[in-house]
Amino acid sequence: MFSAFVLGYALFQAPGGWLADRIGPRILLTLGVVWWAVFTCLITFFSPTAAALLPMLIATRFCLGLGEAVVYPALNTVVSARIPSSERGIANGVIFAGGGFGAGITPPLITWVL
């Protein structure tokens, strides 16, 4: 079930970059975030006693990976269009560090909120 997310993420990164070049990163990020939110919320509606719970979770996690896969390709499109080539390494470093920082700070923050 957990690998379904990674499979969707891996399969859609290259098409996500292509889409970012075609329709623009702003539109793609907006669509990706909405898609991501819909499938994140959808998981909460599944009953633990549902007959087809495992296939529903696998399909939902796969679709969640599709939506999340567009983030880094779209951000790379923004960086390549707006950041001089001599500063792109720093820009990408900030983007990746922000993702790691957010993932690291969220558990203690949520614990404090609860």
pLDDT in tens, the chain (114 residues): 779 999 999 999 999 999 999 999 999 999 999 999 999 999 999 988 888 899 999 999 999 999 999 999 999 999 999 999 999 999 999 998 998 899 999 999 999 999
Q: Are 77 and 17 in contact (CB under 8 A)?
A: yes
| Closest C-alpha to 79, from 69, 89, 70, 65 | 89
For the entire predicted model, the pTM comes to: 0.80
pLDDT of amino acid 47: 87
Q: Rounded to an integer, what distance in angstroms lies between the CA atom of residue 114 and that of residue 102?
A: 18
What number of residues does the chain have?
Answer: 114
Q: List, in sequence order, every beta strand (DSSP E) within 18-97.
A: none
pLDDT of amino acid 1: 76
The single-letter DSSP state of residue 114 is: -
> What are the domain boundaries of the chain?
2-82, 85-114
pLDDT of amino acid 2: 77
pLDDT of amino acid 58: 94
Q: Rounded to an integer, what distance in angstroms lies between the CA atom of residue 7 and that of residue 105?
A: 26
pLDDT of amino acid 99: 86
